[in-house]
Structure 1
Amino acid sequence: MNYSGWGKLHSSILSRYQSINVIIVIYFEKIMIPSEIQQAMYGFMSSHVLFVGDELGIFDLLAQDNWYTSEEIAKNTGVQAFSLERLLLASVAIGIVKKQIDKYQVSEHIKPFLAKTSPNYCGGAFTHFREISTQSFRFLKNAVQENQPQWKQFFGQEENYSPFTDLYKDPEVVDNFLSSMWGLGYLAAQELVKKYSFNKHSCLVDVGGGSGSFAIAALEQCLTLHAIVFDLPSVQSYLEQKRSQHQLDKRLNFVAGDFFKDDLPIGDLYVLGYILSDWSQQDGTNLLNKIYDSLPNGGTIMILEKLFDEDKNGPIETAMMNLAMLLETRGQHYSGSEYISWLQKIGFCNCQVIRSSGEKHLVVGVKP
């Protein structure tokens, strides 16, 4: 074959190869996994990056104003620099950490939520997700097939078991749980209490108030208000610690009791924060009736919960926690109108929804 013939053949082969290559690229573009599926596939990994980075103090260090190399971070946190680099790169990829050449820092808008000395620190909420939810979701298939909590699978307990029974027995577990509740609750409570006038009330009773996040936020908002946190005895030491930190010893009291079995403390405003979503509708109805009977005429109930949108298409936080309730409790989440309907059946009137900019909202009702 002469050179001109070879040149023509080479051009023909190259042309065909390029055409095939274009077809291959187009083909793979068409079958690329959608971002929604990718996010769901890798979401559990991102969660553990967040939890571990917080637990090891890495994000707390990076939430300061300095930039650090991986070697400096490793030295400060007692981890191995080589493996730390992988965790940091993952943190950058999901947007928690930013990188400049070989140094790292937590992204500016995230700093207040990961610095452990910040009043907006939310890491206390990670404990429950890390220790309980990541375990329970392994049994999601069982829960969907059986329509039952999976206590036996991850607690080794039978059907009539309540996870709160063991939770409140161990002081360390109680403190971790209450820290989680504080992390989830205080920031949202600070916003919500600004949207309601407490001046007409004299005593707020936070039923199952746990860490006291809502009661404390309300007391800080209204200086004439007094409050009682009503919960099991093992909550008292944590609540008293928070009370002292916020200099509310004279206006915040603790009363020990079981809200299903014992009489409620007297007040003109009762709060249920993340309570109704933990229990069955029948248990919730019993508790609402009990509060209704305890309130004076004109008294108010507040339900503090995540809410579904009215079409139940979201938000994602509520939808995911609704699944968690299936696995971990006998409760579920509702829309605002469903809560209002529930309150009206009990006898409450003038019901309304007060929304925050976040995921926790208020449903308010008045006893006529």
Structure 2
Amino acid sequence: MGSPEDEAYRLLQEYSNGFMVSQVLFAACELGVFDLLAEAPGPLGSAAVAARLGISCRGTEQLLDACVALRLLRVQVRTGEAVYANTELASAYLARASPTCQQHMLLYMARTTYLCWAHLAEAVRDGENQYLKAFGVSSKELFTAVYRSEAERLQFMRALGDVWSVEGRSVLAAFDLSPFPLVCDLGGCSGALAKECASLYTGCHVTVFDIPDVVQAAKRHFSFPEDGRISFSEGDFFQDPLPEADLYLLARVLHDWTDEKCSRLLARVHRACRTGGGVLVIESLLDADERGPLTTRLYSLNMLVQTEGRERTPAQYRALLGPAGFRDVQCRRTGGTYDAVLARK
């Protein structure tokens, strides 16, 4: 025990260095490394990368080699010079030209989530999110401040679009939603999931319901099919009348809130829902013992440091949906990060 060859010691090193791995990924995205290599006609040397990005040669070489070690980049030696290119992972998920690029979400994590996580111990000690310590303002004040900035608002909206570009189709296909011709995506943000829904179920109409600033930003900055099957409605889903629908989507919504607020929202959804309709909850589901999967367990800690909510088990979602009036609650694992829970009225 305790020797460099010990598996437990290697695991400890892997965990303790995890934040360095994240920062390599975040920095390479922010500096434009993956975009530059995606656009280049062939592999580039570190000096060429540094010159084109306007950054230091010393730092560039070290960052590129770290990306190689992480299998984000590949390297070849040509006439004595190391030249770099994107791996398939980087081409699919880190270059902006890719339809499944995750850069907006990664940069949101780097600029907001990462700073909150620096105060995880305080979050555990206090049981509260850490916006005050991370940014010097309360979570409510920060929310208002972020939404006064078009750039910050758009970053988060595009980040959610990144998620649904990869995960959207699998969660919407977990159940056959074709019996629900009128769909309302509550807190639907940029409309990215609505577009996936309209593409997958061609007979449906989807209304995206969100606060006025978000709806107006979506209309200004995001494109939508011209067939009229996606529309927008403005309001606060805790206070304002909800659009009538056969099916309500709650995607990455309930995990933000306490059980009491979730119950209140689900009761409002049940009242607005047409008879025979339902609600599709899209969240990352915890196992029954609440100790895994690891990603979902970490996401639940993220809810602690950033919101007042948490990730939940299927049984915990059933316990929220039943008292709200919903029946026939079914949970489906998708094999991805996000799962689906369908309940009927």
**TM-score, normalisation: structure 2:** 0.92
What's 1:209 paired with? Answer: 188
CA distance in 1, matches of 2:260, 2:164: 25
> SS at the partner of 2:281?
strand
Residue 223 of structure 1: CA displacement?
1.4
1:138 maps to 2:118 = yes
Question: Aligned AA for 2:28?
Answer: G
Residue 259 of structure 1: CA displacement?
0.8
> SS at the partner of 1:261?
coil
1:99 maps to 2:55 = no
> SS at the partner of 2:179?
coil
Matches within 5 A, 1:303-314: 303-314=281-292
Q: 1:214 to 1:348 in 2, by over 3 A?
A: same
Instruction: Note the alpha carbon deviations across 1:109-166, whole angstroms, 9 max, x for none.
Output: 44211121111111110122111111111211111111122232123235x8364333
Asked if the contact 1:143–1:150 (Cα under 8 Å) also holds between the matched residues in 2, the reply is yes
> SS at the partner of 2:208?
strand
What's 1:79 paired with? Answer: 55
Residue 328 of structure 1: CA displacement?
1.2
Question: Aligned AA for 1:51?
Answer: F
Gaps of 5+ in 1: 1-25
CA distance in 1, matches of 2:227, 2:141: 32
CA distance in 2, matches of 1:199, 1:269: 10
Q: 1:155 to 1:219 in 2, by over 3 A?
A: same
1:274 maps to 2:252 = yes
1:147 maps to 2:122 = no
CA distance in 1, matches of 2:183, 2:88: 37
Instruction: Note the alpha carbon deviations across 1:225-255, whole angstroms, 9 max, x for none.
Output: 11111111111244225752x4246111111
Task: Give the structure with the larger helix fraction.
Answer: 1
What's 2:19 paired with? Answer: 44
Residue 355 of structure 1: CA displacement?
2.3
The CA RMSD measured in Å over matched residues stands at 2.1
What's 1:17 paired with? Answer: none
> SS at the partner of 1:303?
strand
CA distance in 1, matches of 2:2, 2:200: 60
> SS at the partner of 2:336?
coil
Structure 1 vs Structure 2: percent identity of aligned residues? 29
What's 1:113 paired with? Answer: 93
Total equivalences in the alignment: 340
Question: Aligned AA for 2:332?
Answer: I
Residue 294 of structure 1: CA displacement?
0.5
Deviates more, 1:55-64 or 1:316-325: 55-64
**TM-score, normalisation: structure 1:** 0.86
> SS at the partner of 2:98?
coil
> SS at the partner of 1:334?
coil
Asked if the contact 1:142–1:150 (Cα under 8 Å) also holds between the matched residues in 2, the reply is yes
What's 1:3 paired with? Answer: none
Asked if the contact 1:188–1:356 (Cα under 8 Å) also holds between the matched residues in 2, the reply is no
**Rg bigger for which structure?**
1
1:178 maps to 2:160 = no
1:165 maps to 2:165 = no
Q: 1:242 to 1:218 in 2, by over 3 A?
A: farther
Asked if the contact 2:277–2:344 (Cα under 8 Å) also holds between the matched residues in 1, the reply is yes
CA distance in 1, matches of 2:184, 2:2: 63
Matches within 5 A, 1:235-254: 235-240=214-219, 244=223, 246-248=224-226, 250-254=228-232
